[in-house]
Structure 1
Amino acid sequence: MTEIAPLIPRPDGLEFLLTRRSRPAKTLTTPVPDRAGLETLLAAAARSPDHGKLEPWRFIVLERGANLRLAELTRSKGAAAGIEPEKVEKNARSFADAHLVVAVVASPKPSDKVPEVEQVLSAGAVCLALVNAGLAAGWGANWLTGWMAFDRPFLSEGLCLADTEFVAGFIHLGTETAIPPERPRPELAAITTWLDA
């Protein structure tokens, strides 16, 4: 059994979190993490908070062939649903240009103690943890969704998801080809309320 290390300050870890920046999926290319490297990132993501130890999420690793298939499925399902062609093509390109994507599937479990919303939030935490693990390992990483993440025909045919499941995030991983500029961040005073009683 692995011992839990005592809490000690980790300024390098805090500095990483204060400066982290997702890399746009369209700027990612090969090489991508190999299987062993990706399993390490998945293990890090799976350490996310999980109330009740329900594991209300799972991973589907989408390699190049699967991404090409999903790009075509995006086009056909988008057209059938009457979605604007420009939007459909943008979403299709997110798969067509990808070499490695991890679909983080929200898979809520029946529970009298843990509300479904908490399980869905846990799946979101897994998405961010996977992005951060990828960035910390030196890969470019990005969290996307799009209408496909919630479209039942796409989810059923493309990923064989159960009716109770959806994609919390498509996490793109690869080698960055461009460093994105910093973007404006929230003004803390505008989003923070302090209560002392």
Structure 2
Amino acid sequence: MDALQLLLNRHSNPRLNAPAPAGEQLENIFKAGLRAPDHAGLTPWEFIVFEGEQRALLGDILAAATQAKGEDADTIDKARKAPMRAPMVITVVAKVKPHDKVPALEQHLSAGCALMAMQMAAQATGFNGVWRTGWFAFDRGVHTALGLSEQDQIVGFLYLGTPQVAVRNVPERETTPFVRYFGQ
């Protein structure tokens, strides 16, 4: 599949089995993320990988955050099991650095671009995944447990693995409702 077809057919697949990407395939996924737009060369990203048994550690972190919110036992258990939905979860973090010309928002967007590039690279190599965010991405307890600084921001959790099922075709959208030519 060429690059344009990959982009035009981008889709998420939340039904994932082992294996997850590994070795050169995983290294290429990280390299794709590192090609994200990066004003001033700040490299404002960190990719925290949870695979195998480490997914249970992430589950414990999510469960603790859920419990701290006062949720019921079923909701806490669901949070604990969430990372087990895929053989690998990569937490993508915007590592915001002070810069006069590159505001935090731009660094967050850069990290988001890195996450999408990684998902696209996974898809290009026969894997797939889904980008999840939710309130966990903004929870200070989760940030603390992951060793993040006050200015850091999780932009998403990239669940990766081998697709269990083919995804349905996503209908093509007309561009007209989303495009406006200024002055016309």
TM-score normalised over the length of structure 1: 0.84
1:59 equivalent in alignment to 2:47: yes
Query: Do the aligned residues in 1 keep the contact of 2:39 with 2:102 (CA within 8 Å)?
Result: yes
Corresponding position: 1:101 with 2:89: yes
From 7, 18, 31, the equivalent of 1:30 is 18
Structure-1 separation of matches of 2:131 and 2:148: 19
Corresponding residue of 2:106: 118
Change (3 A) 1:186 1:58: same
- Summarize the alignment of residues 145-164 of structure 1 with structure 2, pairs less than 5 Å apart: 145-157=133-145, 159-164=146-151
Q: Which moved more, 1:98-107 or 1:121-130?
A: 98-107
Does residue 21 in structure 1 map to residue 8 in structure 2?
A: no
Amino acid at match of 1:64: G
Aligned residue in 1 for 2:127: 139
State the Cα RMSD in Å. 2.0
Tell whether the 8 Å contact from 1:104 to 1:168 is kept in structure 2 after alignment.
Answer: yes
2:180 aligned residue: 193
Deviations for 1:50-101, whole angstroms, at most 9, x for unmatched residues? Answer: 0110011111111122211121222222022124666544443321333211
Q: Which runs of 5+ in 2 are unaligned?
A: none
Q: Which residue of 1 aligns with 2:36?
A: 48
Contact 1:91 1:146 in 2 (8 A): no
**Residue identity matched to 1:146:** G
Give the aligned residue type for 2:142. F
Is 1:12 the counterpart of 2:2? The answer is: yes
Q: Per the alignment, do residues 84 and 133 of structure 1 end up closer, same or farther by CA in structure 2, a change over 3 Å counting? A: farther
Structure 1 stretches of 5 or more lacking a match?
1-10
- The match for 1:168 among 148, 155, 167 is 155
Equivalent residues, number: 184
**Contact preservation (8 Å) 2:18, 2:86:** no
The one-letter code sitting in structure 2 at the alignment partner of 1:36 is E
Structure 1 pair 28–195 and aligned structure 2 pair: CA distance change class (3 A): same
Verify the 8 A CA contact 2:9 2:170 in the aligned structure 1. Answer: no
